[in-house]
């Protein structure tokens, strides 16, 4: 009789523990507690049967077994409840989580075009070297664009700048004398006429030529002009300024050189090139000592004042700097291309 009741207690305990570990919700645990620990539970039923055991020792052994079983069931119910509670809490926290990063949209702000970026950086570098920024009109007179720059009507060098004419006749003027400026050099003349030397200016701006677009030419592009007028300015000042600029703009590994060339408004004239750290030379622009005729056109006495000037293409410089194959890509309005810079 006694081994029977003890094995019944063990079996009831095992079934109860299996049921408890199979509970998947807190409600299951509540229902199981009522069923297993309540007065109508199987163990409670077995406990009632202890009264009929005659031997005191047997009764004690069976009583201990049933109490242990009931305690084990209670412990298992508590543990399962705690486990399911923790799980439910974790699920709720996850469900109610507010992911603030979801509300931070990827940046859709625009940025300056790469030519504008180059233009602004050039201004910064030259202003840092003591230059001031000057401006001139995009629609120019023939006189400022050519004649005052030592290119009188019929001068062969005019042909080098394929000019776009504006259908506008100034009061008292001649037809065909209003042009879209072909370079920023007319700002030299306007500055000399407006200001007393010493002059240390740069003039970035848009220029126009009747060029067919290709990988290195655009009909509308940008140049930056430099002009220095002071007493005793020499070619060495020009070379030094170009070298300091090259290192400040491109980096300490870069160098510059001047190569003999020809421009009607400078004498002597030089192309200036920059050298990449890998030794490769890139042509950047033109330069030279301001021609005496140009100083005179600007109202200055060449016996007193001397100076140098330079001018180069901003678009081509941005192209070189970023390794862009074709200038036309910079103006194709393809956002996927522009976004990269
Ligand atoms: C001039 O325009 C001279 N005014 C430069 C100068 C200034 C010389 C002061 C001496 C003293 P040039 O025509 O070479 O020079 O043009 C200068 C630069 O403009 C070129 O080196 C090139 O970088 C750029 N450039 C010329 N044509 C185009 C074009 N169609 N598209 C883009 N860039 C151009």
Atom nearest to 283 CA in ligand 1:
21
Q: Is 76 in the pocket of ligand 1 (CB under 6 A)?
A: no
Whole-number percent of the chain with pLDDT over 90: 59
Probe target for ligand 1 pocket from 192, 283, 312, with the most ligand atoms within 8 Å of CB: 312
Encoding tokens for residue 131?
A: 């230059």
Query: How far apart are the C-alpha atoms of 237 and 204, rounded to whole Å?
Result: 21
- For residue 239, name the pLDDT band (cuts at 50, 70, 90): very high
Specify the pLDDT at position 102: 61
Probe target for ligand 1 pocket from 119, 242, 263, with the most ligand atoms within 8 Å of CB: 263
- Residue 314's region, left for phi above 0, alpha for psi from -120 to 50, else beta, is alpha
Tell me whether strands 132-133 and 199-208 are parallel, antiparallel or unpaired. parallel
Count how many Cα atoms sit within 13 Å of the Cα of residue 179 in the half-sphere of its side chain.
Answer: 22
Contact 5, 53 (CB under 8 A): yes
- For residue 1, name the pLDDT band (cuts at 50, 70, 90): low
Report for 68-72, 75-79, 163-167: range of highest mean pLDDT: 163-167
Q: Is 191 in the pocket of ligand 1 (CB under 6 A)?
A: no
- For residue 12, name the pLDDT band (cuts at 50, 70, 90): confident
- For residue 147, name the pLDDT band (cuts at 50, 70, 90): very high
Q: Is 158 in the pocket of ligand 1 (CB under 6 A)?
A: no
Lowest mean pLDDT, pick from 65-79, 87-101, 119-133: 87-101
Tell me if the pTM is above 0.95.
Answer: no
- Among protein residues, the one with the nearest Cα to ligand 1's atom 29 is 217
pLDDT of 105 over the 70 cut: no
Encoding tokens for residue 41?
A: 């539970």
pLDDT of 308 over the 90 cut: yes
- Among protein residues, the one with the nearest Cα to ligand 1's atom 31 is 217
Q: Is 285 in the pocket of ligand 1 (CB under 6 A)?
A: yes
pLDDT of 160 over the 90 cut: no
Q: What is the pLDDT of residues 49-72, one digit of tens each?
A: 888 888 888 888 888 888 888 888
Mean pLDDT of 262-274: 96
Specify the pLDDT at position 69: 87
Say if residue 268 is preceded by a cis peptide, omega within 30 of 0: yes
Encoding tokens for residue 204?
A: 């970035």
Specify the pLDDT at position 211: 92
Probe target for ligand 1 pocket from 181, 285, 294, with the most ligand atoms within 8 Å of CB: 285
Going from the Cα of 284 to the center of ligand 1, the distance in angstroms, rounded, reads: 8
Range list of H helices, 164-289: 186-194, 235-250
Query: How far apart are the C-alpha atoms of 109 and 107, rounded to whole Å?
Result: 6
Going from the Cα of 312 to the center of ligand 1, the distance in angstroms, rounded, reads: 5
- Among protein residues, the one with the nearest Cα to ligand 1's atom 25 is 313
């Amino acid at each position: 009789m006694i081994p029977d009741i003890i094995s019944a207690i063990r079996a009831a305990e095992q079934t109860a523990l299996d049921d408890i570990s199979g509970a998947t919700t807190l409600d299951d645990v509540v229902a199981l507690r009522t069923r297993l620990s309540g007065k109508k539970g199987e163990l409670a039923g077995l406990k009632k049967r202890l009264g009929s055991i005659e031997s005191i020792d047997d009764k004690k052994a069976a009583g201990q077994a049933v109490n242990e079983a009931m305690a084990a069931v209670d412990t298992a119910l508590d543990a399962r409840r705690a486990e399911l509670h923790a799980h439910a809490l974790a699920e709720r926290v996850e469900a109610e989580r507010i992911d603030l990063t979801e509300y931070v949209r990827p940046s859709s702000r625009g940025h300056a075009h790469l030519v504008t970026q180059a233009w602004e950086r050039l201004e910064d570098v030259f202003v840092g070297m003591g230059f001031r920024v000057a401006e001139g009109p995009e629609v120019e007179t023939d006189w400022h664009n050519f004649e005052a720059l030592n290119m009188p009507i019929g001068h062969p060098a005019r042909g080098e700048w394929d000019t776009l004419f504006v259908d506008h006749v100034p009061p008292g003027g001649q037809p065909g004398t209003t042009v879209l400026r072909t370079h920023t050099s007319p700002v030299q003349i306007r500055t000399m006429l407006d200001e007393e030397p010493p002059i240390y200016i740069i003039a970035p701006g848009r220029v126009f030529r009747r060029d067919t677009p290709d990988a290195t030419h655009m009909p509308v592009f940008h140049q930056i002009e430099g002009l220095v007028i002071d007493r005793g300015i020499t070619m060495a000042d020009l070379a030094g300024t170009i070298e300091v600029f090259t290192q400040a703009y491109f980096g300490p590994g870069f160098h510059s050189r001047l190569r003999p060339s020809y421009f009607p408004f400078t004498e002597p004239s030089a192309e200036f090139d920059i050298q990449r750290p890998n030794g490769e030379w890139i042509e950047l622009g033109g330069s030279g000592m301001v021609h005496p005729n140009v100083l005179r056109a600007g109202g200055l006495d060449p016996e007193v004042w001397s100076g140098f000037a330079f001018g180069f293409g901003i678009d081509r410089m941005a192209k070189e700097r970023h390794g862009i194959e074709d200038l036309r890509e910079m103006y194709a309005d393809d956002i996927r291309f522009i976004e990269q810079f």
